[in-house]
Amino acid sequence: MNGATFDWGAAREVLPLLLQGFLITLLATVLGILLAAVLGLLIAVARRAPSPLLTVPVRAVMEFVRSTPLLVQLVGAAAVFSSVDPLFIGIVVLGIHYATYTSEVYRAGIDAVPKGQWEACRALSMSPRRTWQAVVLPQAVRNVLPALGNYAISMFKETPFLAVITVEEMVFKAREYGSQHFAYTEAFTLAGLIFLVASYPTSLLMRKLEKRLGH
């Protein structure tokens, strides 16, 4: 590469490496958002518990996670669990971090269920478990799907933070190739384009889903 000239040879050489890293990025995003979705739902339900012995610790942990940067959480977790695979740590930290936000989405979805339906369940002597499974959660989850999709996109764009704990995702590959071949422009330009190509269609899909569900 000379000056500001884009080296197409370097671009062709780095592309396969970036695609390998993209698979790691995609894996971290998919598993991370699944963890966030499940854990966020559990947090939302736990926060409605009548006992403060459960709700107070849950809220305290939520505030701690939401008040500290994701980067700090990743580095701290990697330092404490140094013998654990960095990718596993990254997925868990991403999942927990985003679970504190998805829990708020679930809470809004649960609160949107009409009170009359709660009263009808009690009138029919339905157990709390049956009420949640058959009436509340199906409606709440349907209402929050677009928001969960948007958080998945946000998580996807934050996976480059995993490079800090040596997860060989796409940006890690781009930085590594750039440092070895002095071709940062090509590596990071292609990485940015891959992020765009992967996230933009998903964003459009989420908008269509929001309109279809009446958001």
CATH of the domain at 122: 1.10.3720.10
Residues whose CB falls within 8 Å of the CB of residue 89, separated by 6 or more in sequence, listed in order: 74, 77, 78, 81, 165
Residue 2 within any structural domain of the chain: no
Estimate the crossing angle of helix 86-111 against helix 137-158, to 10 degrees.
140
The total number of structural domains that make up the chain: 1
Residue pLDDT tens, the chain, 215 long: 444 588 999 999 999 999 999 999 999 999 999 999 999 999 998 888 888 888 899 999 999 999 999 999 999 999 999 999 999 999 999 999 999 999 999 988 888 888 888 888 888 888 888 888 888 888 877 778 888 888 999 999 999 999 999 999 999 999 999 999 988 999 999 999 999 999 988 888 877 877 776 55
Domain that holds residue 147: 9-212
| Cα 101 from Cα 48, distance rounded (Å) | 16
Residue 151 within any structural domain of the chain: yes
Q: How many H-runs (helices) and E-runs (strands) does the chain carry?
A: 9, 0
Q: Tell me, rounded to whole angstroms, the distance of Cα 63 from its chain centroid.
A: 18
Here the tokens at position 101 are 């936000």
| Cα 54 from Cα 63, distance rounded (Å) | 15
Q: Tell me, rounded to whole angstroms, the distance of Cα 96 from its chain centroid.
A: 9
| Cα 100 from Cα 111, distance rounded (Å) | 17
Contact 149, 202 (CB under 8 A): yes
Residue 91 within any structural domain of the chain: yes
